[in-house]
Amino acid sequence: MAGVSAAPAPGTVDRRPKQDRSRATRQRLLEAAVSCLAEHGWAGSTVAVVAERAGVSRGAAQHHFPTREDLFTAAVEYVAEERSTALRALFPEGAEDRRVVVEALVDLYTGPLFRAALHLWVAASNEDQLRPRVTELEAKVGRETHRIAVDLLRADESKAGVRETVQGLLDMARGLGLANLLTDDRGRRERVVAQWTHLLEGAL
Amino acid sequence: MAGVSAAPAPGTVDRRPKQDRSRATRQRLLEAAVSCLAEHGWAGSTVAVVAERAGVSRGAAQHHFPTREDLFTAAVEYVAEERSTALRALFPEGAEDRRVVVEALVDLYTGPLFRAALHLWVAASNEDQLRPRVTELEAKVGRETHRIAVDLLRADESKAGVRETVQGLLDMARGLGLANLLTDDRGRRERVVAQWTHLLEGAL
């Protein structure tokens, strides 16, 4: 367990710092796991590689995450939650301009988190051990992203077609993320986002 | 070269059938390669596995495709061309109903070809040998799909925003394909396609 915490000196047990250190170690592992997945893909991502990257002993890593599947699904979930929180914090009062919201939503799909999630999804499509966990994770993250999009776009889902409009927008954002995987697609993406925001305004 | 053709008997050289047999072998290899990639991913897809699946000797496979990269990029290109030809043939006179066209375009992204292409793209994002070839292939297939979409939707790209509307639609189709990777997403997809066809009608 070296790397999680030193053994406390006799009579000076201090539980808080130990928990804090454990939480910090866990967080370092999760962030290293997402970077590793984004850069090297599933085949190049093992608990040992991530532990080294995070500067944590392999034993400590395995204490936190007994299996490779545990580590990488937890990592994508953690980073997705961080991104969701950050996205809501960007618009604490809601946004006046829907284009800014659409751009921020599309940005969710063009960074290292999307690359990491994509590697995990694609690996899960061929690996039986991974598939149920990633399917569940994808549904959870998808629901949360949809909820954020509806709030930030001030979309009234009681109106016919609004729910599907928002869903299609997020599908488009995912497709734009895929188009950005091998090339820098920024210029085209900005023009598509501008036009689809215009279509969206008419529909909401 | 066993499996490509038997040596012709002396004095009875017949070049056509030999070429035909060679073309048929090549085609079997390409189709087997796409199925293999869709089912087993890049890590599980080698020339030897594909040769066995196609019932072709490994030597014959390597005669047609000297490297693994040659085989799999040629396979995705071949099947994408077959799909494009089939899509145009579906609507020889153009289509009256744009929804039917949008459904057919979205279908391009939910079958084995999309799964195979997705595995190739994701592998290319981490493999330097594969990246330039797949980037070029993706651009080529993307341009052709865009051209078909413009024709079948009778979209007038000289009008402002029309080009970006069609591009966004294809990005949405790609995102819907990704959403269909781990679960059968048909029900949701049909509702999204119906709604966005409606928005598209207004924009074209």
pLDDT tens digits, residue range B18-59? 888 889 999 999 999 999 999 999 989 999 999 999 999 999
Shortest Cα–Cα distance, A108 to chain B (Å): 13
- pLDDT per residue over A55-87, tens digit each? 999 999 999 999 999 999 999 999 999 989 988
What's the CA gap between A124 and B122, in Å, rounded? 13
Asked, for residue A166, whether it belongs to a domain, the answer is yes
Please check whether residue A121 is in contact with residue B178, taking contact to mean a CB–CB distance below 8 angstroms.
yes
Asked, for residue B179, whether it belongs to a domain, the answer is yes
On whether any CB of chain B is under 8 Å from the CB of A183, the answer is yes
Shortest Cα–Cα distance, B61 to chain A (Å): 25
Contact B131 A182 (CB under 8 A): yes
Asked, for residue B126, whether it belongs to a domain, the answer is yes
> Token digits for A76?
């994508």
- pLDDT per residue over A98-152, tens digit each? 999 999 999 999 989 999 999 999 999 988 989 999 999 999 999 999 999 999 9
Write down the pLDDT at residue B8: 46
Query: Is A5's pLDDT higher than 50?
Result: no
Residues 36-75 of B with CB under 8 A from A: 39-41, 43-44
The H or E element containing residue B170 is helix B162-179
Query: Is B106's pLDDT higher than 70?
Result: yes
Query: Is A3's pLDDT higher than 50?
Result: no
Number of domains in chain B: 1
Confidence class for position B6, pLDDT limits 50, 70, 90: very low
Query: Is A7's pLDDT higher than 90?
Result: no
- pLDDT per residue over A160-170, tens digit each? 999 999 999 99
Write down the pLDDT at residue B136: 94
Write down the pLDDT at residue A64: 96
> Token digits for B200?
């598209």
Asked, for residue B162, whether it belongs to a domain, the answer is yes
Confidence class for position A6, pLDDT limits 50, 70, 90: very low
Query: Is A15's pLDDT higher than 70?
Result: no
Task: Please state the φ and ψ torsions of residue A89, each to the nearest 5 degrees.
Answer: -70, -25
What is the pLDDT averaged over residues A40-68? 95
On whether any CB of chain B is under 8 Å from the CB of A129, the answer is no
Write down the pLDDT at residue A160: 93
DSSP A91: -
Asked, for residue A93, whether it belongs to a domain, the answer is yes
CA A10 to chain centre: 41
What's the CA gap between A144 and A141, in Å, rounded? 5
Please check whether residue A98 is in contact with residue B102, taking contact to mean a CB–CB distance below 8 angstroms.
no
On whether any CB of chain B is under 8 Å from the CB of A166, the answer is no
What's the CA gap between B148 and B84, in Å, rounded? 8
Write down the pLDDT at residue B16: 63
| A168 interaction partners in chain B (CB closer than 8 Å) | 172, 192, 195-196
Confidence class for position A16, pLDDT limits 50, 70, 90: low
| A175 interaction partners in chain B (CB closer than 8 Å) | 170-178
Residue predicted with more confidence, B105 or B8:
B105
Question: Would you tell me how many other CB atoms lie within 10 Å of the CB of residue B188?
Answer: 17
Write down the pLDDT at residue B92: 83
Task: Please state the φ and ψ torsions of residue B118, each to the nearest 5 degrees.
Answer: -60, -45
The H or E element containing residue B27 is helix B15-40
- pLDDT per residue over B154-182, tens digit each? 999 999 999 999 999 999 999 999 999 99
What's the CA gap between B125 and A38, in Å, rounded? 9
- pLDDT per residue over B69-96, tens digit each? 999 999 999 999 998 998 888 888 877 8
DSSP B6: P
Dihedral (CA of B28, B30, B31, B33) sign: positive
Half-sphere exposure of B122 (CA within 13 A, CB side): 30
- Say what percent of chain B tops pLDDT 70: 92
Question: Would you tell me how many other CB atoms lie within 10 Å of the CB of residue A44?
Answer: 12
Range of the domain at B159: 68-203
Confidence class for position A93, pLDDT limits 50, 70, 90: confident
Confidence class for position B1, pLDDT limits 50, 70, 90: very low
Residues in contact with B193: Cβ distance below 8 Å, sequence separation at least 6, in sequence order = B99, B102, B103, B106, B176
Confidence class for position B187, pLDDT limits 50, 70, 90: very high
What's the CA gap between B165 and B154, in Å, rounded? 13
> Token digits for B71?
């085989």
Asked, for residue B139, whether it belongs to a domain, the answer is yes
| DSSP secondary structure of B119-141 | HHHHHHTT-TTTHHHHHHHHHHH
Residues in contact with B196: Cβ distance below 8 Å, sequence separation at least 6, in sequence order = A164, A165, A168, B102, B169, B172
Asked, for residue A61, whether it belongs to a domain, the answer is no
On whether any CB of chain A is under 8 Å from the CB of B146, the answer is no
Shortest Cα–Cα distance, A145 to chain B (Å): 14
Please check whether residue B143 is in contact with residue B79, taking contact to mean a CB–CB distance below 8 angstroms.
no
Nearest Cα to B87, choosing from B150, B6, B9? B150
Asked, for residue A35, whether it belongs to a domain, the answer is no
- Say what percent of chain A tops pLDDT 90: 76
